[in-house]
């Protein structure tokens, strides 16, 4: 044995002794300390959550959206979408179709009581019709593509298969995103064109009391350019359309929506308002086409049958004829009935 090896052995023994002297009490001490006494636990954080809060931390990824670890509230939105929003949509669509079918069976097509006349009168000029059809055309696309998001997977998918449905829905999403802006423009034009004629007044109460003459023949409450029923449609479209436009823009630009909870709220509002407005518009389409003789012309050629106009918008006809008679075609002064 060399001197160095003896020295190193002695050192090793000394070290061991020192380790025993210092380390043992430290281990004993460590056992008394619970290292998780201050540690965060999943259970406590989850219990502390309220509302749409999330368990959040810091990530090295430069993306604010990825800081949340657990957001239990997102499942509530999923449940709302699959529950109440879906139910409201089904009720609105099925409900309005049932109501209209019943109405058609009871009342039938509403005819012009006095029969068609030979004269026509200009009801909506080309600008008004443009505004209407811009709004109407885009709304139909928006409504169908929107309904596809809710019913597509249970109706179109089983009928046409994954490929057709996937492609259709992808185009539908694009159409929905872009058509929204056409709808907004149409909405503004329609508002500007007709708001002055849609201020509620006392005549509307008379119209409502008589049920608008919808349920009985030969009952025609007086009305100006728009009767109370049309005013309800107008304000529903303006109000609902504005709500859809606002929430729609928020959904398109999630950065503006104020976080996930904000986006989810706007999505639910968008869905519910759309369902109700769709039902109202379906009723409007019915009465403007198959439901009433002569009604479609107002938005078709713009010129309506004079007898139709006298029955449904008596005061408006008086106004037009007294202010120089804008009646179109070979219209002559018509003798009093």
Residues that bind another protein (CB under 8 A): 34-43, 45-46, 55-61, 63, 65-75, 77-79, 81-82, 148-150, 152-153, 157, 162-163, 165-166, 169-170, 172-173, 177, 252-255, 260, 263-264, 267
CB of 272 to another protein, least distance (A): 16
Q: Which is nearer to another protein, 192 or 256 (CB)?
A: 256
Token pair 């965060």 is found at: 40
Query: What's the closest the beta carbon of residue 262 comes to another protein, in angstroms?
Result: 11
Alpha carbon separation from 83 to 4, 50, 100 (Å, rounded): 83, 22, 26
The phi and psi torsions of 303 (rounded to 5 degrees) equal: -105, 130
Q: CB-wise, 252 or 285, nearer to another protein? A: 252
Residue number with CB closer to another protein (90 or 219): 90
CB of 35 to another protein, least distance (A): 6
Please name every residue paired with 121 in a beta bridge, in sequence order, or none if there are none: 304
The C-alpha atoms of residue 6 and residue 235 are separated, in whole angstroms, by 102
Residue 303 β-bridge partners: 122
Cβ 65 to another protein, closest distance in Å?
7
Burial class (CB in 10 A: 0-12, 13-18, 19+), 98: exposed
Q: Are strands 120-122 and 55-56 parallel, antiparallel or unpaired?
A: unpaired
Task: Give whichever of 183 and 194 is closer to another protein, judged by the CB atom.
Answer: 183
Q: Minimum distance between the CB of residue 308 and another protein, rounded to whole angstroms?
A: 43
Q: 267 - beta bridge partners?
A: none
Closest CB 337 distance from another protein, rounded Å: 56
Residue 214 or 252: the one with the smaller Cβ distance to another protein is 252
Q: Tokens at residue 239, please?
A: 């109000």
Would you say 116 or 259 has its CB closer to another protein? 259
CA dihedral 155, 175, 93, 287 (to 10 degrees): -130
């Amino acid at each position: 044995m060399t001197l160095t090896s003896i020295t190193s052995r002695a050192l090793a023994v000394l070290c061991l002794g020192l380790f025993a002297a210092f380390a043992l009490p430290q281990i004993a001490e460590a056992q008394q300390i619970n290292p998780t006494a201050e540690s965060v636990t999943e259970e406590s954080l989850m219990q502390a959550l309220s509302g749409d809060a999330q368990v959040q931390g810091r990530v090295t990824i430069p993306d604010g959206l990825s800081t949340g670890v657990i957001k239990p509230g997102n499942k509530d939105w999923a449940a709302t979408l699959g529950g109440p929003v879906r139910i409201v949509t089904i009720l609105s669509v099925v409900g309005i179709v049932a109501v209209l079918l019943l109405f058609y069976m009871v009342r039938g097509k509403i005819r012009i009581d006095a029969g068609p006349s030979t004269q026509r009168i200009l009801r909506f000029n080309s600008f008004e019709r443009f505004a209407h059809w811009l709004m109407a055309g885009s709304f139909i696309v928006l409504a169908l593509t929107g309904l596809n998001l809710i019913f597509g997977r249970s109706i179109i998918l089983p009928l046409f298969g994954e490929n057709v449905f996937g492609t259709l829905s992808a185009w539908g999403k694009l159409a929905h995103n872009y058509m929204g802006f056409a709808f907004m423009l149409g909405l503004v034009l329609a508002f500007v064109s007709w708001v002055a004629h849609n201020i509620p007044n006392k005549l509307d109460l008379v119209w409502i009391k008589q049920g608008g003459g919808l349920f009985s023949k030969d009952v025609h409450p007086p009305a100006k350019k728009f009767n109370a029923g049309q005013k309800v449609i107008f304000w529903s479209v303006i109000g609902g359309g504005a709500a859809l436009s606002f929430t729609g823009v928020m959904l398109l630009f999630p950065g503006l929506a104020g976080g996930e909870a904000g986006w989810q709220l706007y999505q639910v509002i968008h869905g519910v308002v759309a369902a109700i407005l769709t039902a109202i518009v379906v009723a409007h389409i019915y009465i403007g086409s198959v439901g009433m003789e002569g009604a479609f012309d107002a938005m078709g050629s713009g010129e309506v049958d004079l007898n139709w106009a006298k029955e449904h918008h008596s005061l408006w006809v008086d106004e037009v004829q007294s202010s120089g008679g804008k009646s179109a075609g070979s219209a002559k002064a018509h003798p009093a009935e």
